[in-house]
Amino acid sequence: MMVTADGMVTPCCFASGHLGSLHEATAEAIWNGPIAMELRQFIKADKIHPVCAGAPCKFVQNALAANTAGKDSEDNGVNTLIFVEALYLEANPDVKIAIENGQFKSGLDHFEQYGRSECRRLKL
């Protein structure tokens, strides 16, 4: 778990969602709380929990790669993650500039060539 300066608890440094707040519960209560328990169940089932959606970690990125390879998310047990061009460019303004300069055809083009291996954020 990770605690941010404002007391919010996240499962790791990649996740954009929270498990709870230390202003409202103890770390032990959050660790054993419903969101953390559900998150562990999702991971054990090879599914992406909403707390982790869009995270640049290997688990989420591998699921995205499986989806972009055309695999059915129902077949491999991974929730569907959709690459959203506008969100990717918002999170990676340098890519937007590179596209304007003609270096890439699109954000997806950049993601497939570099973004995935660089663990770029898919959204802010």
**What are the residues binding ligand SF4 (CB under 6 A)?**
11-12, 14-15, 52, 55, 57, 59-60
CB of 101 to ligand SF4, least distance (A): 32
Cα distance between residue 14 and residue 82, in whole Å? 18
Nearer CB in complex with ligand SF4: 80/103: 80
Nearer CB in complex with ligand SF4: 38/90: 38
CB of 100 to ligand SF4, least distance (A): 31
Nearer CB in complex with ligand SF4: 97/119: 119
CB of 7 to ligand SF4, least distance (A): 19
CB of 110 to ligand SF4, least distance (A): 22
* CB 71, CB 63: distance < 8 Å: no
Nearer CB in complex with ligand SF4: 15/81: 15
Q: Which two tokens mark 118?
A: 């660089």
